[in-house]
Amino acid sequence: NLHPLSLNADMEKEAGILTREMKIALTFQKQAYAVFFAVMLSLVRGVAYSNEIGIALEAPMAILAFTFCADTYVQEIAGKRSEIWRLCPEKKRMHSIYRRMVIQVMFLLAVAAASYGLVFLFQKPSVYGMEQNGLESEIYRFFVYLAAVAVTIGFWGLLSNLISCLFRNMWAGIGGCLALWLVTNSTIGDRILGPWNLFSYSFRELEDSGDFSWIYGKVVCIGIGIMAAAVLPEIIRKRG
């Protein structure tokens, strides 16, 4: 059994590491532009009914995710710290990257949830289906949105970080993701990929609340995201 003093010391060390990683991953500038983005989006992205909020927010949140997470690792290169970084054990480096990614995704998910509320606050859309299911349906709709956008944020954040690490440049990560975003977030992408589209949630049939075929697209996002996380150590090993 671990001695209580040793256990407390380990917990304090982990807390210190987490605090340091949060300072690196969530700089004031990044937090400020994420909040500004959410406020502006809730003001300019017009919706008439509450069931339109999810489709209005998902694609812009993907843009925020891949710009926000593109420098997760390459900031070490830009900050001239990569040589020191290489001296750390590989396992420690990867834990640090994954930890930063989780911190950023959780922060962006909170921003996405707040954006949903801000749309209600600023635009006051009509609550779709209020005459049928009342407030319960609106809460249900919000949690479905939250689940879908969590996958969206995680996918685009992981992908932008992966491409940035491959090319050792955050703009490569942003540009690569933007090209994919333009293809998939389009009528052509919807027509070709259908429910397997990365933005299947946004292109779903709004009138049919029981249609969950859009989940196929989210399964694709999860699968690619897992593969991106799995190959990242090899890319870091080869590209430094």
**Per-residue pLDDT tens digits for 65-104:** 999 999 988 877 665 665 666 666 778 888 888 999 999 9
Could you tell me the two tokens for 100? Answer: 């930063």
What radius of gyration, in Å, describes the C-alpha atoms of the chain? 20
Q: Taking Cα atoms as reference points, which of 137, 111, 135 lies closest to residue 57?
A: 111
Instruction: Give me the count of residues in the chain.
Output: 240
pTM, rounded to two decimals: 0.88
**Per-residue pLDDT tens digits for 163-203:** 999 998 999 999 999 999 999 999 999 999 999 999 999 99
**What separation in angstroms does the CA of 82 have from each of 1, 23, 25?**
38, 18, 16
